[in-house]
Structure 1
Amino acid sequence: MSGAQSSPWHHWSHREPARPAGTASPDRRVKALVLAGGAGSRLRPITHTSAKQLVPVANKPVLFYGLEAIRDAGITEVGIVVGDTAAEIQGAVGDGSAFGLQVTYLPQDAPRGLAHAVLIARDFLGGDDFVMYLGDNFIVGGISDLVGRFRAERPQAQIMLTRVSDPRAFGVAELDAAGRVVGLEEKPAEPKSDLALVGVYIFSAAVHEAVARLKPSWRDELEITDAIQGLIDDGLRVESTVISGYWKDTGNVTDMLEVNRLVLESVEPCVQGRVDETSELIGRVVVEEGATVTGSRIVGPAIVGAGSTVRDSYVGPFTSIDRDCAVIDSEIEYSIVLRGASIDGVGRIEVSLIGREARVTPAPRVPKAHRLVLGDHSTVQISK
C-alpha cells in the first residue's frame, strides 16, 4: 500500500500554532483510535465518491490535521477504524510513516456508534490508555494539553466540552458545582446544559468493561456517552475540559467552508508557480509549484494548488483551489474547489464546494419566450 508521500495532497508552508505546554510524557504509553468509517451523508454528493475525512481543508484532508495533532501529543501507535471507504483512507495515509506514526487499520462492517469502534478495537488497544479522535473533527491548538493533563491527573476518562447554541444535536454533559462530570446524554430533547462533547476523548482501559455492558440505544447504536455514564455510575472519575478555542465537526458544507477560512488565516504567502506580469496577488496567497496564474487577480488568503491554471479570473479571500484545476474567465470567493475541477466563464461563484473533476460552465443562451397551453376563455397576464 502506498504511503502518504504518494497521496494527491500537497503540503504547503503555513504557520503552525505553537505546541501547547503539557505535551504528553513518553513514560506511559498512550495509543490513538481514529474513527474514519462514517458515510458522510451531510456532505453528499461529495461523499458519494470520496471519504468525508479526506475532503480537503486548505488543500489538505481534514483527517491529516487530526493525525498531526496526535503525533504532536507524543502518540505514535494509531488504530484507524475504516468502513466502506477503507481503500481510499489507506491509500492516503499508508502505513503512517509520513506522519511519524505506526498505523493499524481496523475494519468496521457498518457505523454502529462510537462505542462500537472501541469494542472492535479491543485487541489493538489492549490495556493501554488511548485517545479516541473523530477523523472529521478539527480542533485548533491540538490535543497535547489534554493528553498531558490526563497523564498527570489519571482519571478514568477525560472529555472535551464546548458551549453550543443548540445542544440537542450533540452529546451533552452535566457538571456539578466542582466541575466534575455527573451525567451525559446523547442528543437529548431537553438538554440539562449547553456543554456539548467535542470529538476527542481519552480513556483508561476501564472503559472496555463499560462498553461491554452496553445495549443499543434508541438510535440502534452503542453510544460512547452511555459508556462514560457507566464509568460515572461505577464511581470512577471522569474529568472534563471546557475549551474556548475553535472546534468544528466538518460534517456539512457550511462547517467545511468555515474551517477552510480558519486554516487559510494562518497561511504564509508563497509563490512557487508562475505568475505573469499582468496578474496581481494581494495579501497571503500561495501559488504552488506547477500552477500558472495569468491575467488574474488573487486576493488572499487563498491557495492555488500544483498544476492548476487561473486565467483571466478573480479569486477572492478564503478560497482553496486544489491541484490540477482550472479557473478561467470567472470569479470565485469563499469556496473550496477539489482536485481536477474546472470553472470556465461562469461569472461569480461564492460559498461553494466544487467536487473532484466537476465541470462548471455557462448555460446555453436561449431567447426569452413563454410557452403556453391555455384552456378556453383563459386570461393570462405576462410581465414584460
Structure 2
Amino acid sequence: MSVSTPEPDPPEPARGVDAVVLVGGKGTRLRPLTLSAPKPMLPTAGVPFLTHLLSRIAAAGINHVVLGTSYKAEVFQEYFGDGSRLGLDLEYVVEDEPLDTGGAIRNVADRLREPDAMVFNGDILSGVDLPAVLATHRANAADVTLHLVRVDDPRRFGCVPTDADGRVTAFLEKTDNPPTDQVNAGCYVFRREAVESIPAGRPVSVERETFPGLLASGARLQGHVDSSYWLDLGTPAAFVRGSADLVRGIAPSAALPGDPGEALVLEGARVREGAELAGGCTIGAGCQVGAGARVRGSVLFDGAVVGAGAVVEDSVIGAHALVGDGAVVRGAVVGDKAVVGAGCELLDGVRLWPGVHLPDGAIRFSSDV
C-alpha cells in the first residue's frame, strides 16, 4: 500500500504588513554583467536573484509586495508579472530619476495597504528570520526597526550601535575604530507614518538623512541584531560566492531549482565524461562542459561553452560565451558572447566585455578587456 506525503501547510499570513523591495540600482560594480540585465535579475543559482528573495518573503507569509524599479524596469514585470506564480500580489513603481534608498521608499508610499512595511534592498542575500524581525518591531512599538548583522570586520561599513534595550543610538560612518560590530543589513520595518514622513520627489539617503532625523525627533528606532547569513552581492566575487552558497544550501532559499549540492546542472546542459563540477557551481541551460574540464564555484549563464581540459574557478561565464580548450579562468568575468581562446589565462579580477575575442594563448591579469 502506498502512502502519500502530505503537502506542507501554507505559511501563516503575516498580518498588517506589506513588503517593499528596492531594485532600482544600475549595478555598476557588476558590469559587464549588468549591461544586459538589472542586478536582481542576474541568474543566481539557476533563477534570477530576486526570485530567491521573493520566495523568502512569501514563506514569511507576506502576500503584497511593491517593487521599486528604475533601471530596465520593464524586465521585472515581464518576468514576474502579477506575482501569482510565487503566491504573491506584486505591484511595480518606477522611479523617473534615482531617488536613493529613502526617496525610493517614499516613492511607493501610495501603494502601501497595511500599518507596517518591511523594506528590502534588492541585492542582499540574507538568512534572517523575517517573522522575528517583525516581532521585534511590534514588541517594541518601534517607528522603524533595522536588521543589524554582526560582521568580522566592521571597518568596511558604517556601524549602528544600540543600547541595552536594543534601541538604536547613532549611525556612524566608516572608521578604523568602530565602537560596535553591528552594521546595517539592508532590511527594515517602517511604520507607515514613518514612510510618509520622508520628503517626497527628491533623493533621500536613509543612513544620512532619514534615520538621523528620526533619532533627533525622538522616534524609536529599534535594532534586531543577529549573526545570520548575510552577503551584499554588489561585486562579481560576492555574486559568485552568493550563488555558490545558495547551490550548496549554505544560504537559505525556497526557490533553488534542484537539491542542494556541489553543482546545479540545468535543463539541456551537457557535461562530458571526466569533467569535474564542484564548489556550488551552476551550469546553465544549454551549456556544454568539455571532457576533463574543471568548473568550481562558478556560474555559467545559459548557453556558455567550456572546452575540454579548461579550468573555470570562482568566475562568471556569460550567456553563449566560449572558454576554449585548456584555457584557465580564475576569479574573472567573461561577458556574454565573448570568446576566451584556447590556452588563454584570465586571472585576478579580469573582466572580458561582451563580444570580445581573446586570441589563443593570451594572458590577462587584473584589467578589463
Taking structure 2 as the reference length, what is the TM-score of the superposition?
Answer: 0.79
| Bigger mean CA offset, 246-255 vs 49-58 | 49-58
Task: Determine the structure 2 residue equivalent to 1:102.
Answer: 89
Partner of 1:89: 76
CA distance in 2, matches of 1:165, 1:183: 20
Tell me which residue corresponds to 1:303. 282
Which amino acid in 1 is paired with 2:148?
A: L
Tell me the CA shift for residue 64 of structure 1. 1.4
Are the equivalent residues in 2 in contact too, given 1:261–1:334 (CA < 8 A)? Answer: no
Gaps of 5+ in 1: 1-17, 272-282, 367-384
- Alignment of 1:321 with 2:300, yes or no, is yes
Task: Name the CA shift for 1:365/1:134 in 2 (closer, same or farther; >3 Å).
Answer: closer
Q: What number of residue pairs does the alignment pair up? A: 329
Secondary structure at the residue paired with 1:116? Answer: helix
Q: Distance in 1 between matches of 2:175 and 2:68?
A: 27
Tell me the C-alpha RMSD between the 2 structures. Answer: 3.1
Instruction: Report how far residue 319 of structure 1 moved.
Output: 2.6
Paired position in structure 2 for 1:359 = 339
Contact 1:62–1:137, Cα closer than 8 Å, also in 2? no
1:259, distance to aligned residue in structure 2 (A) = 1.0
* Distance change (3 Å), C-alpha of 1:102 and 1:35: same
| Equivalent residue letter for 1:333 | E
Q: CA deviation at 1:323?
A: 2.4
The answer on whether the counterparts of 1:303 and 1:320 sit within 8 Å (CA) in structure 2 is yes
> 1:338 pairs with 308, 315, 318, which one?
318
Listed one character per residue, the Cα deviations across residues 9-32 of structure 1 (whole Å, up to 9, x for unaligned) are: xxxxxxxxx99xxx7754x32111
Q: 2:124 aligns with which of 137, 140, 143?
A: 137
Equivalences for residues 166-181 of structure 1 within 5 A: 167=154, 169-181=156-168
Q: Does 1:74 align with 2:58?
A: no
- Give the superposition deviation at 1:168: 5.7
1:151 to 1:178, Cα distance in 2 relative to 1, 3 A: closer
Deviation by residue 1:32-53 (Cα, 9 ceiling, x = unmatched): 1111110111112222222111
Residues 1:364 and 1:353: Cα distance change in structure 2 (over 3 Å) = closer
Say if 1:126 and 1:288 are closer, same or farther in 2 by CA, change over 3 A. closer
Letter of the aligned partner of 1:344 in structure 2?
G
The DSSP-based 3-state class of the residue aligned with 1:138 is strand
CA drift of 1:350 comes to: 1.7
SS in 1 for 2:296: coil
Please report how far the alpha carbon of residue 340 of structure 1 lies from its aligned counterpart in structure 2 after TM superposition.
2.4
CA contact (8 A) 1:269 1:285 kept: no
Paired amino acid for 1:358: A
Partners of 1:299 and 1:25 lie apart in 2 by 40
Equivalent residue in structure 2 for 1:235, among 218, 228, 232: 218
Identity, in percent, stands at 28
Task: Measure how far apart 1:188 and its partner are.
Answer: 6.7
Q: 2:18 aligns with which of 27, 31, 52?
A: 31
Matched, 1:349 2:329: yes
Aligned partner letter, 1:332: V
Which residue matches 1:223?
205
Q: Which is higher, the Rg of structure 1 or of structure 2?
A: 1
Q: Give the deviation of 1:293 after TM superposition.
A: 1.8
Structure 2, unaligned stretches of length 5 or more? 1-7, 251-255, 343-357, 362-369
Change (3 A) 1:63 1:139: same
Distance 1:110 1:34 in 2: 17
Once the two structures are TM-superposed, the CA of residue 163 in structure 1 deviates from its matched residue by 3.0
What amino acid is aligned across from residue 262 of structure 1 in structure 2? D
Please give the alpha-carbon distance, in whole angstroms, between the structure 1 residues aligned to 2:174 and 2:97. 21
| 1:194 counterpart residue number | 181
Question: Would the aligned equivalents of 1:24 and 1:144 in 2 still touch at CA under 8 Å?
Answer: no
